[in-house]
Amino acid sequence: MKILVLSGSLRKASFNTRLGKAIAKRAPEGVQIDVATCHGIPLYDGDVEEAEGVPQAVVALRDQIKSVDALILLTPEYNGGMPGVFKNTLDWLTRPGSEINATFKNLPTGLCGATPGGLGTTLAQSGSLVVLRQLKLRLFSGHLRVSGAADALDTNGAISDKLAGMLDSWLTEFVEFARKP
């Protein structure tokens, strides 16, 4: 099974990209997990799309998504919501409109997030459900929310024992969900 983790952050030391790398390191046997980010995706502009087509960075990311069996979306929380850069990336991935179903329909998808705050991206994840339902994903109900990310995920890739247990449990359940038709 192949899974792509998409981090919705551009920060070099992003907690969410670190979380994605931790998830990839803890992949169960027989599961390959790759991590991608929103880097290189320009702001959506319908005039640019009409004049120049879909940017190559978008096409490459979409091709990655189409090549996997499941998707994990990692959303930071900015002012109680999904960051604009992440929403923008999802918007580009649906262009042209025929790509919505081809890219996302029934794709098993998990939603996660890490934040230094105490709510573990609860608001961003809840708010993003409106957008994600439009994509017709098959959304896993067990959301992973990591609070106190500075203590749980260090810059060298080490994670706390508590987070390791959470990841192992969540990944086992997510992979089981993704394998079901």
Supply 89's token pair.
Answer: 């990336």
Domains along the chain?
A: 2-179 (3.40.50.360)
CA geometry: angle 68, 72, 55, nearest 5 deg: 65
- What is the token pair recorded at 101? 């179903």
The answer, as to whether pTM is greater than 0.85, is yes
71-88 per-residue burial string, b: 16 or more CB within 10 A, e: under 16 = bbbbbbbbeebbbebbbb
Q: How does residue 50 score in pLDDT terms, banded at 50, 70 and 90?
A: very high
What is the three-class DSSP state of 140? coil
Q: Are 108 and 42 in contact (CB under 8 A)?
A: no
The pLDDT value recorded for residue 39 is 96
DSSP assignment letter at 82: -
**Res 7 pLDDT > 90:** yes
Would the pLDDT of 38 be above 90? yes
Q: What would the pLDDT profile of 57-76 be if each residue is shown by its tens digit?
A: 999 999 999 999 999 999 99
pLDDT digits (tens, 9 = 90+) for 102-143: 999 999 999 999 988 888 888 888 899 999 999 999 999 998
Strand ranges (E), 2-154: 2-7, 32-37, 70-74, 108-114, 138-139, 144-146
Bridge partners of 3?
Answer: 33, 70
Residue 22 has pLDDT above 90, yes or no: yes
Q: Quick check: 14 and 76 in contact, CB under 8 A? A: yes
Q: What's residue 8's pLDDT?
A: 95
pLDDT, mean over the chain = 94
**What is the pLDDT, as a whole number, of residue 154?**
86
